Amino acid sequence: MTNLLPPSLIRLFAPRPPLEYIAPISRYDPNPNATPLPKDPQRISNRKKLRIPLSGVASTLELVKQQRADSGEVTDDIAAETSTSTFTHARVTLSEIALEARKSAKAETKRMGLETYSPTTNPDATPDAYKTLFLARLPYSATEQDLHKEFDMYGPITQIKLVRDQQGKSRGYAFVAYERERDMKAAYKDAEGLKIHGRRIMVDVERGRTVKDWKPARLGGGLGGSLRKPKKAPEPVESTTSMGPRLGLA
């Protein structure tokens, strides 16, 4: 069918000339299209043919001891080094051993804490537990003056106990004691989520002395998370009215 095309179009379908042969860089091959020669058997590695069985180092150790004995050196240190060699575990086994040690230490700390936990005999506690408000998740930069400024509006305060560590740094929770129990209840209902230094805090009653057999989180108790569960969103009510056919008005 191409014979029906004019010569100007036939030239477009003409094959291109073959690529010019260029000799390789590493060596010159006079005939690149020739069949390659088989590999020289003498140049093939005998690595796969040689199968040397694995053996221990006991014979080598005896040979070294014999050579050192022939040269007049003491060979007792070699036996001492081999006899006092330490046994090492695998990395996974070491991590498992460390994990078990941490679990045992944590369980021992918890057991000792349960034996010594007695909030009713705490000398640093507030006078009346039913008038005391517990504050949690406080910013570490907050001071007693900041807490007094925020919670003084609910009623007169008798004592503010901001718990600190041995270095004097805040541990993030405190106790506020009011003169009247109703003031504590008002603060408990209203101060949840109050922001102090840009951080929302949590409030609760002092459960250590008011709730029987209550324990803090470090001893396996506590409430954990938010103290007050969020309210569930109201479920959508299905409409009972049925929509009839639309009537077109002329």
Q: What is the mean pLDDT of the chain?
A: 80
What's the distance, CA 7 to chain centroid? Answer: 76
**Tokens coding 172:** 């993030």
**Measured between alpha carbons, how far is 183 from 185 in angstroms, rounded to an integer?**
5
Ordered by start, the domain boundaries in the chain are 90-120, 122-219
* 206-243 per-position pLDDT tens digit: 998 998 888 888 888 776 555 455 566 677 766 555 55
Task: Annotate 105-135 with DSSP letters as a single string.
Answer: HHHHHHHHHHHH--GGG-TTS-S-GGGEEEE
Pick the CATH number of 122-219 from 3.30.70.120, 2.40.160.20, 3.30.1490.100, 3.30.70.330: 3.30.70.330
Q: What is the pLDDT of residue 121?
A: 87
**Tokens coding 156:** 């007169």
Please name which of 148, 176, 151, 180 lies closest in space to residue 161, comparing C-alpha atoms. Answer: 176
Q: What is the pLDDT of residue 59?
A: 77
Angle CA 145–167–160, to nearest 5 = 25
CA distances from 122 to 10, 40, 138, 153 (A): 106, 92, 22, 28
At residue 4, does pLDDT exceed 70?
yes
At residue 250, does pLDDT exceed 50?
no
